[in-house]
Amino acid sequence: MGRFLALTPLGGIEAVQRVAQACVSELDVFRAPVEAPELARRRAAGLSARQDALLVKWGYPYVMEEFRFHLTLSGRLPEAEIPVWADQVQRYLPDLPSPFVLDQIALCGEREDRRFEMLHRYTLAG
């Protein structure tokens, strides 16, 4: 995905999209307001008009229909290094089950050192 490595699903992800959209809209009251420097940083990436509107409304430009489910594996990589790192991931990542079932979601928080930690894990049902 762009300049970082991520696992992305194959096949339909409509149920995942519904969960993601519900989380964004229903949990928005807990979100900190977006500060001006963050708005400027995000806008400098060249957002579409829709992504900018989502940034203003929800605090992040890649939500709702702009969201693409992924599991991030790396930070931003130099373009020339992406194939090398992709080979390493394929070499060491175990085979994933098929189908891969997403049946839990985690609530994470950002610590003062800007690292994330899991606060609670929830089982998805229904």
Q: Does 54 reside within a domain?
A: yes
In a domain, 62, yes or no: yes
- Identify the H or E element spanning 40: helix 36-43
Q: What is the pLDDT of residues 44-62, one digit of tens each?
A: 989 999 999 999 999 999 9
User: Does some domain include residue 53?
Assistant: yes
In a domain? residue 94:
yes
Considering the entire predicted model, what is its pTM? 0.77
Residue 106 lies in a domain: no
Locate 22 and state its tokens.
């519900």
Can you list the positions of beta strands (E) in the chain?
6-7, 71-72, 104-110, 116-123
Longest dimension (CA), the chain: 44
pLDDT in tens, 48-98: 999 999 999 999 999 999 999 998 899 899 999 999 999 999 899 888 888
Q: Which domain holds residue 22?
A: 6-100
